[in-house]
Structure 1
Amino acid sequence: MRRRLAGAMVLLLLTATASVPLSLPVPPRIVRIALEIEQRGIVYSWGGGHSEDPGPSKGTCRGYRGRVKPCPAARTRGLDCSGFTRWVYALAHGEDVLGPGNTDDHVRKMRRVKSARPGDLVFFGKITKRSVRTHHVGVYLGDGKMMNAPETGAVVRIDDIAKKDFAGFYRY
């Protein structure tokens, strides 16, 4: 009797699990890292994330044109948009693949793609064959959303991808 019961249980378990997918979709490593960073509540700092090593750092007031006056960046440890994406990509790739430059420098190290995948970078500004003038970048999460360090006074967060000034999706 016990043997029949055990056999029935095994058959029941095999039948029940046969329709379960073997692998559930797992977000790409870049997206998982971006989501982990968002949970830390890291603040925006103009020029933050551009010290020798990627990651939060004090910013700079050189070139600052933000709404908050006087410029708080030199005393604020945080990340700007390109500092955020630089850190995410460094953690995901195991090395500083984007380097300490700004959004213009970073887009030059990538290739434009027509169909975005989660983990690609979303750039804003104007990119032509002759010139690159970008002003913002974020990590594409899918479904029209991106993770970014948007502006002084904000924290790293998820936003909808704005159509205004959209320059394209880029992949490393």
Structure 2
Amino acid sequence: MRRVAAALLLVLFTVTASVPLRQFVLPEIVRLAYELEGRDLVYSWGGGHAEDPGPSNGTCRGYHGSIKPCPAQRTRGLDCSGFTRWVYALAHGKDVLGRGNTDDHVRRMYRVERPRPGDLVYFGKITKKRVITHHVGIYLGDGKMMNAPETGAVVRIDEIAKKKYFAGYFRY
């Protein structure tokens, strides 16, 4: 009986050890995104890019939003890449995307043709020679993403097809 149990444990360990961990992180990313969405987190240009991931005051450097004067320096919140950075840090247990912007983050990932909930969806232009992105969201499935869309908005769910300049789905 002990030999059978030991053999079963060995088989179970071998099978589970060969399953990639990322497969289990993607659903956790979606769960965390929904949890954070319920907190009515406001958009702040440059928010979420402090030393540690999470809401922070933003910056007015490079701001071209519709609300004048720029409210970012006095607004604690997240921009699109700050939001995805925070969710990925919580899911992975460490800051895997880093303090950079959408261009920096997409360079740490690889493109996928068949996205799974938890992958990131980028907007802009991505070629072998150039990366110029301007927006990112967390893919939820069924053509939807969660994102921090713009000044004056909160983290919310949007349809991907309604946003211009789709650049692709990416996985960490």
| Partner residue, 2:82 | 83
Partner of 2:143: 144
> Residue 48 of structure 2 aligns to which amino acid in structure 1?
G
Normalized against structure 2, the TM-score is what?
0.84
- Match of residue 93 from structure 1: 92
Q: How does 1:19-168 map to 2 (within 5 A)?
A: 28-162=27-161, 164-168=164-168
Unaligned 5+ residue runs, structure 2?
1-25
Residue type of the partner of 1:87? W
Q: TM-score, normalization: structure 1?
A: 0.84
Q: Partners in 2 of 1:86 and 1:164 — Cα distance?
A: 22
Residues 90-121 of structure 1: per-residue CA shift (max 9 Å, x gap): 00000000000000000000000000000000
Aligned mates of 2:55, 2:147 — CA distance in 1: 14
How far residue 134 of structure 1 moved from its aligned partner, in angstroms, is 0.1
Q: Tell me, in whole angstroms, the C-alpha distance in 2 between the residues paired with 1:128 and 1:137.
A: 16
The CA deviation at 1:170 is: 0.0
CA RMSD of aligned residues (A): 0.9
| 1:38 shift after superposition | 0.2
After TM superposition, give the deviation of residue 76 of structure 1 in Å.
Answer: 0.1
Q: How many residues align?
A: 146
Q: Percent identity?
A: 79
Which residue identity is paired with 1:171?
R
Deviation digits for residues 104-150 of structure 1 (CA, Å, limit 9, x no counterpart): 00000000000000000000000000010000000000000000000
Equivalent in the alignment of 1:7: none
Instruction: Write 1 or 2 for the structure with the bigger share of helix.
Output: 2
CA distance in 1, matches of 2:48, 2:157: 18
User: How far 1:86 moved relative to its partner?
Assistant: 0.1
**Structure of greater Rg:** 1
Kindly state the Cα deviation for residue 164 of structure 1 after the two structures are TM-superposed.
Answer: 2.0
Q: Matched residues in 2 for 1:160 and 1:68: separation?
A: 24
Distance in structure 1 (CA, Å) of the matches to 2:149 and 2:126: 20
